[in-house]
Copies of this chain bind each other. A is one copy, B any other.
Amino acid sequence: MLTERQLLVLQIIIDDFIETAHPVGSRALSKKGSIPYSAATIRNDMADLEDMGFLEKTHSSSGRIPSEKGYRYYVDHLIAPLSSGQNIKIIRNIMKEGIYEFEQIVQMSAEVLSELTNYTSIIIGPELSETKLKQLEILPISNHTAVAILVTDTGHVEHRSITVPEKIDLSDLEKMVNILNDRLKGVPIIQLEKVFQKEIVGLLKRYINDFGSTQHYLQAIISQNNPVKLYIGGKSNILMQPEFNDVDKIRSFYTMIENENEIANLLKSKKDGIGISIGNENKVEAIKDLSLITATYQLGKDQMGTIALLGPTRMEYKKVISLLSSLSKELSEALYKWYKTSE
C-alpha cells in the first residue's frame, strides 16, 4: 500500500514530467519546494515507487519518469477533474454558429480540440446503422451520366456519379426511381441492399424491359461503401511535442495517421463514456507508445460517434479529459437540438 507521502511524490513527479518532459530527480524536487521533505527522503520514496512499478529510470543514475502503470494509477486515482471554464466557452461558440451542417461542426470541433491541446484530434462521424433512407433521387446529367443522391432521415447526403447504360430511357428511369422510393423510404441504410434484392428486383423485372442489364446498376447506387467519416485535426500540431523530435517517429506516426481504416477500427470499438488507453494498453501496434483518450457522443437514441485525442503518453490528462467530456456533451446537445423533432 502506498503511504500518503508516496502518493504525493508520485503525483508531483508525474505532474512535473508532464509539464517539462524531463526526468525528475529528488534533489531538484526538494529544492523546488513543492514538497517539504529532503532529497534523501524523497529518494527513498522514489525507490519504493520504482519497486512497485510506478516509476522508471531512463538510465541507472537518471531522474525518474512515470511508467505506464504510473500513468494508469495517476488517471485512476490522482486526477481531480479540472473544470475548464474557458475552453467550454470556446466550444459553445462553435456550436452556436448558424448554418453549419453537421460535418462542418464536427470538422471545426476537431480543429479546435487539437488547437487547445497540441495533440492530434480524431472524430468519427456517427454510424449510419440506424439511419433511414429519406429520399432517393437520380438526376440525369447527360445522355451517359447521372447523379444519384441519397438523403437520410438525419439529413445526411450521399451522392455518386454514374454512367447510365445506353438502353435505359428516361421514362423508365423515372418509373424505377419512383418504385425505389416507394419501397425503400424508411429502410435503414444498412439494409438497403438486402431489401432491394428481396423485394424490389422481382417487382422491377415485371415493369421494366430488359431489366437484367440495369440491375447491377441500381445496386451500385444503393450499396454504400462504408460511409463512416473521419475528421482529423492538427496532424502537424503534434510535431510540437518533444517526443516527436525524432524523424523516424514522425515517419511512423504519419504513415499510421494516413491509414484511415486502421484509425476507424480503433475508434469504432470504443464503449460509452471516457476511455483512456495508455501506451501498450492500445491494441494497435502503431500507437503503442502514445496515449489515446476517447469520448463518445450521441445522436438520437443509440447512434453514436467518438471523439478522441492522440498524444504522447506524457499527456495532459487532466486537461484532455475535461475537455473531451465537455465537448462530447456539447456535441450531443447540439445534435439533439438539431434533430430533436425528426423522430
Contacts and interface: CB of A to CB of B under 8 A. Distances in A.
Interface stretch (A88-96, A138-146, A325-333): A138-146
Interface in A207-251: 220, 235-236, 239-240, 244-247, 250-251
A144 B338 contact: yes
Contacts of A98: 163, 220
Interface in A70-119: 98-102
Contacts of A145: 155, 338-339, 342
B342 A141 contact: yes
A40 interface: no
A160 B155 CA distance: 9
Contacts of A157: 147, 149, 157, 159
A99 B251 contact: no
B139 A134 contact: yes
Contacts of A282: none
A240 B255 CA distance: 11
A236 B220 contact: no
A177 interface: no
A111 to B, nearest CB: 10
Nearest to A250: B250
Contact of A258 (B220, B235, B258): B235
A6 interface: no
A254 B141 CA distance: 39
A341 interface: yes
A100 B160 CA distance: 8
Given A161-B101, A245-B247, A250-B239, A135 B143 contact: no
B251 A102 contact: no
A21 interface: no
A255 B239 CA distance: 10
Interface string A162-178: 11000000000000000
Interface string A128-156: 00000011010101111111010101110
A155 B141 contact: yes
8 contacts: A135-B139, A141-B151, A141-B339, A144-B341, A145-B338, A147-B157, A236-B255, A236-B258
**In the complex, the 8 A-B pairs of residues with the closest C-beta atoms, listed nearest first:** A142-B342, A101-B161, A236-B254, A157-B159, A143-B341, A142-B341, A141-B155, A155-B161
Interface of A: 98-102, 134-135, 137, 139, 141-147, 149, 151, 153-155, 157, 159-163, 220, 235-236, 239-240, 244-247, 250-251, 254-255, 257-258, 338-342
